[in-house]
Structure 1
């Protein structure tokens, strides 16, 4: 039972810190299916500080986390006037 509460507790704790705006939450469906995995994604940052052109480079298991990761990355924000291309991120989901 403790394994279930640990990630949720961390999410609650980090949600009150300003540096934790760019986080990814464990997708509910994957959690219920007791699935672990990882996703490697790439994105660009536009001049407004928004993540754009998000693409999944690799995911295991295939497709389980993709939609959730893309939706969550699209909400990430970065400093304005610092555009970047092809930023890579690897996200691990561990049960």
Structure 2
């Protein structure tokens, strides 16, 4: 199954900022995404499908690089705030 980045964007936009990972993964799998890789340094995501098919997002979707965070505790706190609905995705990825 061939999927397009626009289809992935539609899924993410329809699910909103606070969808859990399992829901996102299921919806992307329904499109044909078998797995994806996220490069923190560049903010790039590569989505893989069958037969070597792939689609790349060159940034994190916000046209900005993702800052490296050295403090694991700070990353954990941001993740908890995002999951709790206290922080929007656009703010969490800054």
Give the TM-score normalised by the residue count of structure 2. Answer: 0.26
**Larger relative contact order (C-alpha < 8 A, sep ≥ 6)?**
1
Query: Relative to total residues, which structure has the larger strand share, 1 or 2?
Result: 1
Between structures 1 and 2, the one with greater helix share = 2
TM-score normalised by L of structure 1? 0.26
